[in-house]
Amino acid sequence: MEQWKIDCVAVVVLATVLVLTIGQSAASPPVITLGLTDESGIDEGTANFYCKATGDPAPTFEWYRNKKWVRGLRYQIVETEGGSVLRITPLRLDRDNDLAVVCEASNGDGTATTQARLTVTQADSLPAGYPEITFNPRRYTVLVNDRPATIYCGATGNPEPEILWFKEFVPIETNDRISITDSGLQFSRALPSDQGRYECAAKNSLGTRYSVEAQVYVKHLQVEPRFTILPVNQEVVPGGSVNLTCAAYGSPMPRVRWMKADMDLDDMDGLPIGRNVLQLRDIYESGNYTCVATSLLGTIDTLARVTVRTPPSVPNSPVVTGYTSSSLTVEWSTLPSDTVTSHVVEYKRSRSGGSFTEVEIPYSEQDTSFTIEGLLPYTEYAVRLLAVNTIGRSNPSAEATAMTGEDVPGSPPIEVRARPTSDSTIIIQWSAPTTPNGVLKGYNVFYTTNPNSDPESWFHVSVDASRSLTTISDLVTMQIHSVSVSAFTVKGEGPASPPIQVKTQQGVPSQPEQFEGVAISAFQIRLTWMMHDTEPQIVHYELYYNVSTSNMHKTITPTTDYVLDDLRPNTLYHIRLAARSETGEGASSPVITVRTQQSVVGPALYFVDCSGSNPCLNGGTCESESCTCAPGFSGDLCDSVVCPVVTATAPDDLEQKICDSDNIFIVKMKPDGRAKILDDLTHLDNPYAVDRPIIGFIPNDVCNLELAEKRYMLFMAGEAVPGKKFTLDLPVLVMSMTGQLKVQVKEIRLLCPVA
Q: Where in the chain is the domain with CATH 2.60.40.10?
A: 29-125, 132-219, 223-308, 319-403, 414-503, 513-595
Of 663, 654, 716, nearest to 688 by C-alpha is 663
Total number of residues shown for the chain: 755
Residues 96-121 have a mean pLDDT of 93
Instruction: Give percent above pLDDT 90 in the chain.
Output: 49
Give yes or no for residue 209 having a pLDDT over 50.
yes
pLDDT tens digits, one per residue of 157-192 = 999 999 999 999 999 999 999 999 888 999 999 999
- Tell me how crowded residue 510 is: count the other CB atoms within 10 A of its CB: 22
Pairing of strands 605-609, 223-229: unpaired
Residue-wise pLDDT for 215-266, tens only, equals: 999 988 888 999 999 999 998 888 989 999 999 998 888 999 999 988 898 8
Q: Give 542-555 pLDDT, tens digit per residue.
A: 999 987 667 888 99
pLDDT of residue 665: 39
Q: How far is CA 737 from the centre of its chain?
A: 64
Mean pLDDT of 347-356: 87
- Does residue 57 have a cis peptide bond before it, meaning omega lies within 30 degrees of 0? yes
Q: Which of 250-254, 313-317, 630-634 has the lowest mean pLDDT?
A: 630-634
CA distances from 5 to 13, 14, 18, 392, 414 (A): 12, 14, 20, 90, 130
Which distant-in-sequence residues (6+ apart) come within 8 Å of 551 by Cβ? Answer: 544, 545
Dihedral (CA of 665, 669, 672, 674) sign: positive
105, 91 contact by CB (below 8 A): no
pLDDT at 50: 94
**Residue 627 pLDDT > 50:** no
The reported pLDDT for the residue numbered 599 is: 67
**Rounded CA gap, 167 and 141, in Å?**
14
For residues 315 and 318, what is the distance between their CA atoms, to the nearest angstrom? Answer: 9
Query: What would the pLDDT profile of 519-574 be if each residue is shown by its tens digit?
Result: 998 889 999 998 887 777 889 999 999 876 678 889 999 999 999 988 888 889 99
Percent of the chain with pLDDT over 70: 75
pLDDT at residue 17 tops 70: no
Q: Assess whether pLDDT exceeds 90 at residue 372.
A: yes
Q: pLDDT tens digit string along 647-667?
A: 333 334 433 343 333 333 334
CATH number for region 29-125 = 2.60.40.10
Q: Is the pLDDT of residue 640 over 80?
A: no
pLDDT of residue 338: 65
Per the DSSP assignment, residues forming a β-bridge with 242 are 280
SS3 string, 582-625, reads: CCCECCCCCCEEEECCCCCCCCCEEEEECCCCCCCCCCCCCCCC
CA torsion sign for 729, 730, 735, 737 is negative
pLDDT (0 to 100) of residue 40:
92
The pLDDT of 58-71, averaged and rounded, is: 91
Q: Is the pTM of this model over 0.85?
A: no
* Residue 10 CA neighbour count, 13 Å, CB half: 6
Q: What is the mean pLDDT of residues 725-754?
A: 31
Question: Is residue 13 predicted with pLDDT exceeding 90?
Answer: no
Torsion of CA 135, 138, 143, 149, to 10 degrees: 0
pLDDT at 752 over 50: no
Fold topology of 414-503: Immunoglobulin-like (2.60.40)
Q: Is the predicted pLDDT of residue 132 greater than 50, yes or no?
A: yes
Contacts 24+ apart (CB under 8 A), 260-267: 260/287, 260/288, 260/289, 260/290, 261/288, 265/289
The pLDDT of residue 331 is: 92
d(CA 569, CA 548): 14
How far apart (Å, rounded) are the C-alpha atoms in residues 33 and 31?
6
223-308: in CATH 2.60.40.10: yes
Position with higher pLDDT, 720 vs 585: 585
CATH-assigned architecture of domain 132-219: Sandwich (2.60)
Q: With bands split at pLDDT 50, 70 and 90, how would you rate the model's confidence at 359?
A: very high
User: How many angstroms separate the CA atoms of 70 and 89, rounded?
Assistant: 13
Average pLDDT over residues 350-354: 83
DSSP letter assigned to residue 755 = -
Position 705 pLDDT exceeds 60: no
Q: Which of 375, 350, 378, 349 is nearest to 438 (CA)?
A: 378
| Residues 645, 652: Cα–Cα separation, whole Å | 22
Residue 83 has pLDDT above 60, yes or no: yes
Q: What is the CA radius of gyration of the chain?
A: 53
Query: Is residue 717's pLDDT more than 60?
Result: no
Q: How far apart are CA 731 and CA 716, in angstroms?
A: 8
DSSP helix/strand/coil, 141 = strand
Q: Pick the more confident residue, 252 or 30.
A: 30
Q: Residue 338 and residue 309: Cα distance in Å, rounded? A: 11
Please state, in angstroms and rounded to a whole number, the distance separating the CA atoms of residues 417 and 429: 5
Q: Where are the alpha helices (DSSP H) in 461-569?
A: none
Closest listed residue to residue 37, CA positions, set 209, 232, 203, 284: 203
The secondary structure element, H or E, covering residue 656 is helix 652-659
Residue type at 329 in one-letter notation: T
Give me the CATH code for the 319-403 domain, please.
2.60.40.10
Q: What is the mean pLDDT of residues 25-48?
A: 89
Query: From CA 493, how far away is CA 486, in angstroms rounded?
Result: 7
Per residue in 262-292, pLDDT tens? 889 888 888 999 999 999 999 999 999 999 9
Reported as half-sphere exposure (CB side, CA atoms, 13 A), residue 620 has a value of 26
Question: Which pLDDT value is given to residue 549?
Answer: 67
- Output the CATH code of domain 513-595: 2.60.40.10
Region 100-111 average pLDDT: 92
Interval 453-484: pLDDT, tens: 888 899 999 999 999 999 999 898 889 999 99
Which DSSP state fits 242?
E
Q: What is the pLDDT of residue 701?
A: 32
Determine the average pLDDT of the residues in 477-496. Answer: 93
Distance spanning both ends of the chain, measured CA to CA:
135
Mean pLDDT of all residues in the chain?
77
Determine phi and psi for 215, rounding to 5 degrees: -90, 120
